[in-house]
Structure 1
Amino acid sequence: MTMLPEFVSNVTRVQSKRPSRIVFLAIAFVLSGIPVPAATAAPAAPVRYLSRPDLVPPAITVDLAAAPTSPGRILLTPKDTADEQIGPLLVDDTGSPVWFAPRGDKLRLVMNAQVQTYRDRPVLVWWEGAFVPLGWGQGTVTIADQGYRTIAQVGLDRGVDLHAIRITPQNTIIVVSYRTTTAVPGQVTLRPVVENVLREIDIGTGRVLMTWSSLEHIPVSESYLRSNDIVAWDYLHVNAVDLDQAGNIVVSGRNTHTVYTLDRGTGRVLSRLGGKRSDYTLPPAAVFAWQHNVRVLPNGDISMFDNEQGATFPPTPPTRPASRAIVLHPDAATRTATMTRSLSTPDGLGTGAQGSNQTLPDGHAFVSWGDRGRFSEFDADGTMIYDARFTSPTVDTYVANRVDWHATPTEPPALLARRTSGGVTAYASWNGATEVSRWQLLTGPDRTHLAVAADAARSGFETVLTAPGDAGYAAVRALSATGAVLGTSPVTQVRAG
């Protein structure tokens, strides 16, 4: 473990023979997991809202809603859109947006949105930055409060990767960076190798408290990914980080098929679960490969999305026909690990890129199927009870999480009011307000004389209200389930129909 006051995030550039553009683009598609749409596929029409024409989130289709799901809403970061925008997206179980923050573009992605805890309060975190086609990112982590205000950003050197974001109880954050080098301990090599670097950073001050290098602790011989003469050898590919009950760092190495436990003070590898040098004996059914989204559960078990196939170059054959959401129980006394849960889709879906597996407090599991653009919920018995997908065939999300998120935006509700033959029709929304139960429509002859003319239950992101009369001005109020006023829109002039 190297203790450094700062970290140089520039990637070392290694001179090598340049591949052709066609070869490079083919490799980029393989490693990035970007689905290539069929030539005949027609893009879905974007969803648009009259009260917020500036918001164009991707549409979602729900294919299965067979039983009550766990409480909470679904947090996504859609990408690979056509005409829709990208950015953190919070939806309800119907697929209707609750909050959408358009950020990024085709070259600057937004990924890995989560709800975590900072200074004893829930916060939203997400990564945004440039995606390197070889399979990692260079960007920053944004932390936002329950008013959607940015309260911190980490990685202003643009050196933070998209995969691993973990805020600790000490109000620090552990992130990973990727950099290319030819300096491999104990070896002489001219071929570039991708080194993973973990940093623990004090969020408040930006001070780097710890730096850990993969090449100092994990030899390249553990990799299942073959090296090649075209691209740098991403021998490890750290794609998740967590803390165990003792405060040790738990790291997922996708390309070594291993979950590592690291001493947080020294960086020493305390144990390996899976891979070529596993400290635990796993039965054949529990062996995993090319995994994502490794998490430590409260009882010490390990959950993960077990891809079982890799979006790699050179290509690797699948180790199982379907991807799985699994939970492993490591027994430190016997040095064995058993599988306590394994979930797959009824149609045996497999994905080589991305994916997540979230164990919920009621025993349900919420699973994202990576670059397939699908996300599902299973009940405690392992039955799929919910299944949804992005309507557009190209759109996917790095992870999907069911979150307990309560927020009141700092901006007021939005309104568009039109005069129609029957009176006034109003379109009301409040982007990000999670507690709205009903809407009231207020109308009047001028801005200072408004009265309640109609009310309606909230209906999706945008609620339509109608009121008789020829009022010239209107506003809307957002009400909670108890009838409390949560917010009021600016008064607007009623437009001609």
Structure 2
Amino acid sequence: MPKRSLYGALASLLLCQFAKRRDSAFPQYEDSSDLNHFVTHPEIQSPTLNVSVHDAQKSSRGYYFMTPFHRTQEPLVASPAYYVPCQSGPTIYDSFGDLIWSGACIVQNNNTFDFRLAMIEDKPHLSWMRQSHSRRVPAHLGISELFDLSYQNRTRIQADNSTMRLNFHEYNHIENGRKMLVITEGVKYLDLAVIGLPYKNYPVIVTGFQEVDSKTGKVLFEWDSVPRVSVGETSLLPETPGPAFDESEAFDFMHMNSVDKNPDGDYLVSARHTDTIYKISGTNGEIIWRFGGKTTDFVHDGGFNFSKQHDARFLGSNRTHCIISFVNNAASKFAQSASHSSALVISLHTAGKPMTATILSQYDRPDRGLTRRMGNIQTLPNGSRLVNWSQGGYTTEYSQDGKPVAEARFATDRFASYRVYKHDFVGKPSYPPIVRSFAYGRKQSGATTACYVSWNGATEVASWRFYSHEKNGKVSLGEMQRQGFETEFMCDGYKKKVSVEAVDANGVVLGRSDIEDTVRPGTWAKTDSGPDDIVAHIEFPVVLCFLLTFIFTAAIGFITGGTLRPSWPRKKNSGYKQLRHEEDTEGVI
């Protein structure tokens, strides 16, 4: 086995032993092979992202903005799918799938949605909607947050009044960030006779949206679905009420999941449970037209249909036509209207009689699967389109001619991502890089020092310069090209104190770490000449376990006549049982 890999494995083992002592309050689980592991950030274990690039020239430059999550209904501590803190939350990967930034610790591992790059007064910011797990705010409601590109918090909004609350589906900054669009929800008691049920006072979720002044928080425009949208438009039926039926079990007859605004001041709303996209007047709130559902105002050319759609967006309009895009999920837990999901770009001829809808572009899910919830479509700067199919973070980038040019997916389907975006940006953390170093060797005079360095969120680092700090001053140990999120560097000799510099492609120093003490093997003598075994700093039970395993393997080889071939075991992905996400998130996202 290569010397470097052996040292890396030993360092990881040491960190695991340390983490078990330090984080004993968190449950330990058997398998985390689909997660990233870092020596410098043992608290971050983001999902591994696999990326396949089919045509690099046609793939848009940028980073994947994702929000891995598992459940939306329960706090993470109640879910056996979580291993350690800092897996769920806003996460950025590069075009190769390497982690760039994890904000999971910032959001305290709460599920996060609609993570994107937002322009605020001509300056790019990171924005997301974070799910709340507090007792005061129900889990399906959200807290919006805005960070700058140094990863410092700028704004935090939590709408929580007695009637309408902030829903986590949308956090859409418009008009250069001066305003934002958010989805709201509340509960009203309605007569369900319109859908043939004998309930006159039934709790119903009423979704709507608000346009809000980003600086003052003043609501500039507000729209509620009731009474403008009838419960009769729903494609669902509510649960039969029980003896203790209350607002927590209210009927989500519409389920709004996106809102957009065009330059004319009108709004576009997608409602999953009515299979309808609505255009809303920005003047009086009246519904201008309905596209899809039971009461569509359009004739669909070729007879195409869609259902359970997500992420309806304006792409352009004039006096006679309106171009929109959305994801046609075509399925829910209970029904489906097509064999597979797709993303659509539609031309709506609004001046004709009757009005007609024509498919301009259709992007079929490559594996011909069904996205039963969530999803989004993004038009990229080069004209290609990014479509998120949600489960497993499955995302496809299509060129202008409709061919897949890149695909991304988590290593397993244990996590999903509500939306995925691709943005090009420059991350400059306000905090310094982190370096950790470990000494190995039987004795100090012949030791080797292994260094590990990372800078969570930095996009411009091309290489790292390593230094030791001696009595006579700082001594250069060498420079190494950046190797993904975390870079490993080996040097001969015991270096008592080390530090690093982050360097960009032009040789400019971007940041410097603190000076860190190297971790010494535990049985080294305090003097410079004390002997030591290479693994003496690892806990005795671990050494004993390795020794017994070696003896047992040798005995088996002797008995069977086989040849003993020592090798470092490679962790295999044991797989995961398919989680029933339909039960966890259906009707929520």
Structure 2-normalised TM-score? 0.71
Alignment of 1:235-250 (within 5 A): 235-250=253-268
Residue 42 of structure 1 and its aligned partner are, at CA, apart by: 6.5
Q: Please give the secondary structure, in 1, of the residue aligned with 2:369.
A: coil
Aligned to 2:587: none
TM-aligned CA distance change 1:136 to 1:223, over 3 Å: farther
Partner of 1:145: 148
1:363 maps to 2:383: yes
The AA in structure 2 aligned to 1:180 is: V
Question: Secondary structure at the residue paired with 2:166?
Answer: coil
After superposition, residues 363-442 of structure 1 pair within 5 angstroms as: 363-420=383-440, 423-442=448-467
Name the CA distance, whole Å, in 2 between partners of 1:160 and 1:380: 36
CA contact (8 A) 1:110 1:127 kept: yes
Structure 1 residue identity aligned to 2:61: P
Counterpart code for 1:444: H
Matched position secondary structure for 2:377: strand
Bigger mean CA offset, 262-271 vs 294-303: 294-303
Structure that is richer in helix per residue: 2
Larger displacement relative to structure 2 (427-436 or 150-159): 150-159
Structure with higher Rg: it is: 2
| 1:294 and 2:316 matched | no
Paired position in structure 1 for 2:46: 57
- Is residue 185–residue 216 contact of structure 1 (8 Å, CA) maintained in 2? no
Query: In the aligned structure 2, how far is the partner of 1:207 from the partner of 1:117?
Result: 20
Within 1, Cα distance between the matches of 2:382 and 2:284? Answer: 36
Matches within 5 A, 1:176-325: 176-183=183-190, 189-230=200-241, 231-284=249-302, 286-298=304-316, 301-311=323-333, 315=334, 317-325=335-343
Compute the displacement of 1:495 (Å). 2.2
Q: What does residue 333 of structure 1 align with?
A: 351
2:376/2:389 contact within 8 Å kept: yes
Asked if the contact 1:289–1:309 (Cα under 8 Å) also holds between the matched residues in 2, the reply is yes
Could you tell me which residue of structure 1 aligns to residue 374 of structure 2? 354
The change in CA–CA distance for 1:224 and 1:192 in structure 2 (over 3 A counts) is same
Q: What is the CA–CA distance in structure 2 between the aligned matches of 1:352 and 1:428, rounded to whole Å? A: 41
Q: Which residue of 2 aligns with 1:173?
A: 180
SS at match of 1:215: coil
Aligned counterparts of 2:325 and 2:483: Cα–Cα separation in 1? 36
**Does the CA-based 8 Å contact 2:377-2:385 persist in structure 1?**
yes
After the TM superposition, which of the residue ranges 424-433 and 269-278 deviates more from structure 2? 269-278
AA aligned opposite 2:203: P
Shift in Å at residue 309 of structure 1? 0.4
CA distance in 1, matches of 2:490, 2:323: 53
Contact 1:76 1:397 in 2 (8 A): yes
**Letter paired with 2:68:** P
Q: Which runs of at least 4 in structure 1 moved beyond 6 Å after TM superposition?
A: 184-188
Shift of 1:285: 5.4
Shift of 1:265: 3.4
2:307 and 2:329 in contact (8 A); partners too: yes
Alpha-carbon distance in 2 for matches of 1:285, 1:395 = 35
Contact 2:391–2:413 at 8 Å: present in 1 too? no
8 Å CA contact 1:305, 1:357 repeated in 2: yes
Deviations 1:115-163 (A, max 9, x none): 122222111111112479xx98212111111111111112242831111
Instruction: Please say if residues 46 and 83 of structure 1, whose CA atoms lie closer than 8 Å, have aligned partners that are also in contact.
Output: no
Q: How far apart, in 2, do the equivalents of 1:58 and 1:394 lie? A: 9
Question: Aligned equivalents of 1:151 and 1:261: distance in 2?
Answer: 32
Which position in structure 2 is the counterpart of 1:83?
83
Residue 372 and residue 426 in structure 1: after superposition, are their counterparts in 2 closer, same or farther (change >3 A)?
closer
- Distance in 2 (alpha carbons) for counterparts of 1:138 and 1:70: 33
Q: Which amino acid aligns with 1:413?
A: P
Work out which structure has the larger RCO, using CA pairs closer than 8 Å and 6 or more positions apart in sequence.
1
Cα distance in 2 for residues equivalent to 1:181 and 1:268: 20
Indicate conservation of the 8 Å contact 1:257/1:291, yes or no: yes
Offset at residue 228 of structure 1 (A): 3.6
- What is the CA distance between 1:167 and its match in structure 2? 1.3
User: What secondary structure does 1:221 align onto?
Assistant: helix
| C-alpha deviation, 1:45, in angstroms | 5.0
Distance 1:485 1:184 in 2: 67
Match for residue 102 of structure 2 among 71, 83, 100: 100
CA distance in 2 between counterparts of 1:370 and 1:131 reads 22
CA distance in 1, matches of 2:304, 2:346: 7
Aligned residue identity for 1:118: I
CA shift at 1:67, angstroms?
1.7
Distance in 2 separating the partners of 1:276 and 1:429? 54
Structure-2 separation of matches of 1:298 and 1:459? 42
User: Is the 8 Å Cα contact of residues 351 and 372 (structure 1) preserved in structure 2?
Assistant: no
Aligned pairs for 1:126-141 (under 5 A) are 126-130=128-132, 137-141=140-144
Structure 1 segments unaligned to the other structure (5+ residues): 1-40
Decide whether the 8 Å contact of 1:375 with 1:387 is kept in 2: yes
- The runs of 5 or more residues in structure 2 that have no matched partner are 1-29, 71-80, 242-248, 442-446, 522-589
Percent of pairs with identical residues: 26
The number of equivalent residue pairs is 448
Contact 1:164 1:176 in 2 (8 A): yes
- Please, what is the CA RMSD of the aligned residues? 2.6
1-side partners of 2:237 and 2:315: how far apart?
A: 32
Give the structure 2 partner of residue 71 of structure 1.
Answer: 61
1:343 and 1:243, CA in 2 relative to 1: closer, same or farther beyond 3 A? same
Range that drifts further, 279-288 or 394-403: 279-288
| Partner of residue 33, structure 1 | none
Choose 236-245 or 327-336, whichever is displaced more.
327-336
Q: Compute the TM-score of the two structures, normalised by the length of structure 1.
A: 0.84
Q: CA deviation at 1:183?
A: 4.3
Sort the Cα spacing of 1:224 and 1:474 in 2 relative to 1 into closer, same or farther, 3 A.
same
CA distance in 1, matches of 2:259, 2:112: 19
Provide the secondary structure at the position in 1 that maps to 2:259: strand
Q: Confirm or deny that 1:484 pairs with 2:508.
A: yes
Q: What per-residue deviation string (whole Å, max 9, x for no partner) do you get for residues 232-260 of structure 1?
A: 32121110111113232211111122211
Shift of 1:272: 2.0
The answer on whether the counterparts of 1:307 and 1:323 sit within 8 Å (CA) in structure 2 is: yes
Give, in whole Å, the separation in 1 of the partners of 2:216 and 2:68.
31
